[in-house]
């Protein structure tokens, strides 16, 4: 799924790239590369910022419950975005043998995962 496709579903609009940029959800680099595949960490950032900037949903103050994700701190910039969507049940972790939970930040989000997360976010 491309960034443009993801944002089009989130904003339900053909000019979603412009809307997302104007709201501070994506940066200039992202506006210049809307065809790039979207990673799970990027989807988490977009969904979290949409909740915060558009829906005005407050962040969970205590994100310690998300520390069960073994890769939560792999990206310092992504920690809060991932924790917020995980704790709110919008995006799921992936479970591996032995009960290992990871967010799998650097893998591409599938179309079905994206649609499910967006539906959950919009409630």
Q: What is the pLDDT of residues 94-108, one digit of tens each?
A: 998 888 999 999 999
- The pTM of the full predicted model, rounded to 2 decimals, is 0.94
For the chain, the three-class secondary structure string (H helix, E strand, C coil) is CEHHHHHHHHHCCCCHHHHHHHCCCCCHHHHHCCCCECEHHHHHHHHHHHHHHCCCCCCCCCCHHHHHCCCHHHCCCCHHHHHHHHHCCCCCCEEEHHHEEECCCCCECCHHHHHHHHHHHHC
Percentage of the chain with pLDDT > 90? 93
Q: Left (φ > 0), alpha (ψ -120 to 50) or beta: where does 60 sit?
A: beta
Which domain range does residue 37 map to? Answer: 3-122
d(CA 107, CA 34): 17
Q: What is the pLDDT of residues 54-103, one digit of tens each?
A: 999 999 999 999 999 999 999 999 999 999 999 999 999 999 888 899 99
- Structural domain tally of the chain? 1
pLDDT at 99: 87
């Amino acid at each position: 799924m491309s960034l443009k496709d993801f944002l089009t579903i989130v904003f339900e609009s053909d000019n979603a790239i412009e809307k997302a940029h104007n709201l501070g959800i994506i940066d200039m680099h992202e506006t210049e590369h809307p065809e790039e595949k979207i990673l799970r960490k990027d989807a988490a950032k977009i969904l979290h910022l949409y909740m915060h900037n558009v829906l005005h949903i407050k962040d969970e103050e205590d994100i310690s419950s998300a520390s069960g994700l073994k890769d939560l701190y792999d990206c310092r910039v992504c920690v809060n975005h991932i924790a917020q969507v995980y704790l709110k049940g919008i995006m799921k972790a992936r479970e591996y043998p032995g009960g290992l939970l990871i967010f799998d930040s650097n893998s591409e989000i599938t179309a079905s995962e994206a649609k499910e997360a967006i539906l959950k976010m919009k409630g």
